[in-house]
């Protein structure tokens, strides 16, 4: 299960790297900054809805373990309804969202204007993007890692091709990347619905909407919805805190200079790439631990956790070795701007620490989601953000500048790993014994 999840997850940062590489080889570093600033707002928007994928995955895996087929359909219905409603609201509220979002950004006027242009194009992808969160979460919960992998590959292939067409074919800049993202997301949504109907047609045939409501409507209203919203509320708060860290990271990068913003944006791709690789195992953890948690099997639950951590530790070491050996080569692939490359070199050391200090936190996220231990997820995240990241950065920024930003990020990742490990026993034994 991990391998398809890793392949599907890794396409996301790789796509981001392709976008950055396209912009990094244009005639100005400001296009890089534009994507970074607009991307921060979209990270805030879409990560806020990340609870849909995570909550859907955990609940679906537990229902799968219990062999509760009506509940499987109802979870998908609830998730897609919330996704579509949220997506359309974002489109309707795009103007105030843009105003509030860019109010907190301190980039240069030219970079901000380009970022606003990018925003007003890409925002129309919101209904498709958020619906894909719900669908992918359901697929993972159904122990199906291959469908999200195929979807991710197809979406990102379309996205890359469209980006090249719009940027090099039509002569667009950062707005061309926005158009490529918009169109590819809707292609992905259509494909996801087709896969859903084809792979699970028997399930949908047996449990149609009318029959579902007649048979278990009262049960769903009384039990599923309150629990669903309670768990997702905690995941939402946890995600907002995570978004806050990355938003502050980008805002503070922009406050230093456009060049530091470009440097940190590129170096951050290393963290995103590693996180998406680890999330491949985290998604497997969601499916497997959720399945065994729902089935009431503590032995296989603990066994799956041990396997997940064994593989995670090995991969984090390998990733560190690859980074140490090839960091400058990877940097040059993302940009040929010598000033940006030279400016980035003093900060490469911090990025090399990321795999070792953070791999446990990514894996625990998946395990906590599978057991729907959302309160523990929320509490450990809030502690790491407000008692570790912010104090470390604001106490040191006057003395260390951009190094303080990276030092605070490393401490934040380490704090999450340690605090989640301390909470682990409570998070993985609730309702099992």
Domain count, the chain: 1
> Number of C-alpha atoms within 13 angstroms, CB side, residue 292?
19
CA 109, 113, 114 angle in degrees (round to 5)?
Answer: 120
- Residue 388: pLDDT band with limits 50, 70, 90: very high
Count other Cβ atoms within 10 Å, centred on residue 183. Answer: 18
Q: Are 52 and 221 in contact (CB under 8 A)?
A: no
pLDDT at 107: 65
Domain span at 317: 2-429
What's the Cα-to-Cα distance from 164 to each of 21, 160, 175, rounded to whole Å? Answer: 11, 6, 12
pLDDT, greater one: 430 or 132: 132
- Residue 59: pLDDT band with limits 50, 70, 90: confident
Q: What's the N-to-C CA distance of the chain in angstroms? A: 27
Of 65-79, 102-116, 267-281, 416-430, which range is least confident? 102-116
CA 158, 159, 160 angle in degrees (round to 5)?
Answer: 95
> Mean pLDDT across the stretch 307-312?
90
> Mean pLDDT across the stretch 116-128?
91
- Residue 372 burial (10 A CB sphere; 0-12, 13-18, 19+): buried
pLDDT at 415: 96
Q: Does the structure show a pLDDT above 80 at 13?
A: no
DSSP 140-156: HHTT--HHHHHHHHHHH
pLDDT tens sequence across 273-298: 788 788 888 888 888 888 888 888 88
Q: What are 112's two structure tokens? A: 């901000």
Length of the chain: 433
Return the closest-CA partner of residue 233 out of 51, 365, 85, 77: 51
> Mean pLDDT across the stretch 328-333?
76
- Residue 69 burial (10 A CB sphere; 0-12, 13-18, 19+): middle
Distance (Å, whole) CA 386 – CA 245: 9
CA 325, 309, 295 angle in degrees (round to 5)?
Answer: 150
Distance (Å, whole) CA 71 – CA 78: 10
pLDDT tens sequence across 338-365: 777 888 888 888 988 999 999 999 999 9
User: Does this model's pTM top 0.85?
Assistant: no
């Amino acid at each position: 299960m991990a391998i398809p999840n890793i392949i599907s997850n890794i396409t996301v940062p790789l796509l981001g790297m392709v976008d950055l590489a396209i912009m990094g080889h244009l005639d100005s570093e400001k296009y890089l900054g534009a994507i970074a600033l607009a991307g921060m707002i979209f990270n805030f928007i879409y990560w806020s809805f990340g609870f849909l994928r995570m909550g859907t995955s955990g609940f679906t895996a537990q229902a799968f373990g219990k062999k509760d087929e009506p509940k499987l359909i109802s979870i998908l219905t609830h998730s897609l309804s919330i996704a579509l409603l949220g997506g359309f609201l974002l489109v309707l509220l795009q103007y105030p969202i843009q105003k509030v979002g860019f109010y907190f950004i301190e980039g240069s006027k030219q970079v901000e204007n380009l970022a606003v242009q990018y925003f007003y194009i890409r925002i129309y992808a919101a209904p498709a993007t958020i619906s894909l969160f719900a669908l992918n979460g359901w697929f993972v919960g159904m122990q199906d890692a291959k469908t999200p992998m195929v979807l991710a590959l197809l979406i990102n292939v379309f996205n890359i091709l469209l980006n090249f067409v719009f940027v090099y074919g039509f002569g667009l800049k950062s707005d061309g990347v926005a158009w490529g993202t918009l169109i590819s997301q809707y292609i992905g949504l259509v494909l996801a619905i087709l896969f859903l109907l084809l792979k699970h047609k028997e399930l949908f045939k047996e449990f149609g909407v009318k029959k579902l409501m007649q048979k278990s409507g009262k049960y769903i209203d009384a039990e599923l919805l309150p629990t669903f919203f309670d768990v997702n509320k905690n995941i939402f708060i946890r995600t907002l805190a995570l978004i806050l860290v990355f938003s502050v990271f980008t805002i503070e990068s922009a406050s230093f200079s456009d060049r530091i913003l470009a440097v940190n944006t590129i170096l951050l791709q290393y963290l995103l790439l590693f996180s998406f690789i680890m999330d491949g195992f985290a998604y497997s953890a969601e499916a497997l631990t959720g399945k065994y948690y729902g089935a009431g099997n503590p032995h296989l639950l603990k066994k799956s956790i041990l396997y997940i951590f064994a593989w995670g530790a090995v991969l984090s070491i390998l990733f560190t070795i690859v980074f140490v050996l090839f960091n400058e080569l990877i940097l040059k692939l993302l940009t040929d701007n010598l000033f940006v490359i030279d400016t980035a070199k003093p900060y490469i050391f911090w990025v090399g620490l990321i795999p070792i200090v953070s791999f446990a936190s990514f894996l625990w996220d998946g395990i906590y989601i599978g057991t729907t231990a959302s309160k523990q997820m929320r509490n450990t995240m809030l502690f790491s953000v407000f008692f570790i990241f912010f104090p470390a950065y604001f106490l040191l920024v006057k003395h260390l500048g951009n190094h303080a930003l990276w030092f605070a990020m490393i401490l934040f990742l380490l704090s999450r790993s340690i605090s989640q490990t301390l909470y682990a026993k409570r998070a993985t034994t609730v309702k099992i014994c």
